[in-house]
Amino acid sequence: PIARWTQDDVDAYVAEHGVLTNPLLMDGYASVGCAPCTRRVLEGEDARAGRWAGRGKTECGLHG
């Protein structure tokens, strides 16, 4: 199942099938959410560390 894919599996699928990706992924955003809740991931951080950074949340909640 796709839930068990590694990042290498995802990258291979994207390359093989020509899947369009968000340009922010190549600009240091390892996980992209909404604009006010997303920042670049720093070296050594988990890929999702840039989501809801400093907000004590794990879901957007529509900015509320």
| Residues recognised as catalytic | 60
Phi, psi of 41 (to 5 degrees): -85, 135
Q: How far is CA 62 from CA 33, 34, 35, 44, in A?
A: 11, 9, 11, 28
Q: Which two tokens stand for residue 57?
A: 């949340």
